[in-house]
Chain A
Amino acid sequence: MTGSTWIYILTMILTTNLIRIIPLTLIRKRIKNVFLQSFLYYVPYVTLAVMTFPAVTEATNSPVAGYLALITGIAAAWAGLGLFPVSMICCAVVFISELFLV
């Protein structure tokens, strides 16, 4: 079983990285199509939005703490704080609020 576990892991590694690399080898020119350009412009933000909510409210022990972190994080990012401060503020909000909630 250990031997086949390594084969599984090797398969996982190869497949996962091929998915990442194939577009970069095939698409070397600028895409001219305006719809495709626009689509690719929106994809990253939409993906991150979809992955953030409601997952953030399910990652914490208390969903309320997750909502508080989301709201505080949005406010902090809106105020112009960077990646690390916003992350740490979200963590602190969860830690402190769960002292009361859980």
Chain B
Amino acid sequence: MNDISAYKKGLRDGIPIALGYFAVAFSLGFMAKKCSISPLQGFICSFFTRASAGEYGGYTIIMQDAGILGMIAMSIVTNLRYLLMSTALSQKFSPDTPFFKRILTGFCVTDEIFGISIAYNGYLNPYYTFGAFSVSTPLWALGTMLGIIAGNILPARAVSALSVALYGMFIAIIIPPCKKDRAVLLSVTAGFILSFFADLSGIAGKLGLNSGITIIVLTILISAVTAYIKPHPQDTAFDSENNG
């Protein structure tokens, strides 16, 4: 696939992401407004961070005026999963992918854009990621700004319905490999079950942690156990994808 068609495919696959972003960013905007964030500040912050949980945490720090170190700590904790995602993406590039394209791809990483980039068949063409980025980022920033300006424009029913667009997309990413690979199916099922009980028990709150930490801990735990039980050498996987 050449760069232009990869970019177009990225644009197309970015549409559901953009729709979901808009709804979520809108409600993030309501929250930002409570923390005295201006519409311009919200737009710029959302455009350059694209981090839902990270922004939520960050705006809390701003509201409490908890200091720059507090902001750094909050940003690291709420976004630590991006470290794992970028590490996984580093293995998805063709060896001849130029340095600046790797950096730009890293800049584009969000939960959703990572999800579709890692599902790309064979080596990742960075233009696919750039396409998804360029359709979804403006709507994320715009949604935040409009949420701050306008408050509650959308009816509650529409917000409720739109808010599952993101999760629908997550499901569409994780289910196809579950059909092909029983180890993925097992790890995803374990993820659902343990996440459910972690939430039910409120364990994170009892330990003074936030839900972002629960996501990190469960991800590392389940992935490590699955990797130990059912090794999946990735070089051969890439080779077979490229040959097939």
Contact = CB atoms under 8 A, between A and B. Distances in A.
Partners in one complex: yes
Interface string A66-79: 10011001101110
Contacts of B72: 11, 15
B160 A61 contact: yes
Contact of A47 (B68, B84, B87): B84
Main secondary structure of the interface of B (DSSP, over half): helix
B13 A83 contact: yes
Of listed A4, A35, A91, residue having the most chain B CB within 10 A? A91
Interface residues of A, number: 79
A76 B16 CA distance: 15
A84 B84 contact: no
A2 B41 CA distance: 10
Contacts of B87: 23, 27, 40
B195 A59 contact: no
Contacts of B109: 20
A90 B165 contact: yes
Contacts of B116: 83
A31 to B, nearest CB: 6
Given A27-B87, A98-B161, A86 B172 contact: yes
A2 B218 CA distance: 38
B170 A8 contact: no
A86 to B, nearest CB: 4
A45 B103 CA distance: 23
B46 to A, nearest CB: 10
Interface of A: 1-2, 4-9, 11-13, 15-17, 19-25, 27-28, 30-31, 34-56, 59-62, 65-66, 69-70, 73-74, 76-78, 80-84, 86-95, 98-99, 102
Given A11-B75, A24-B89, 14 more contacts: A9-B44, A19-B75, A19-B79, A20-B83, A35-B228, A42-B222, A47-B81, A48-B170, A51-B111, A53-B191, A54-B196, A84-B15, A91-B161, A95-B161
Q: A-B pairs with the 3 shortest C-beta distances?
A: A49-B191, A90-B168, A38-B227
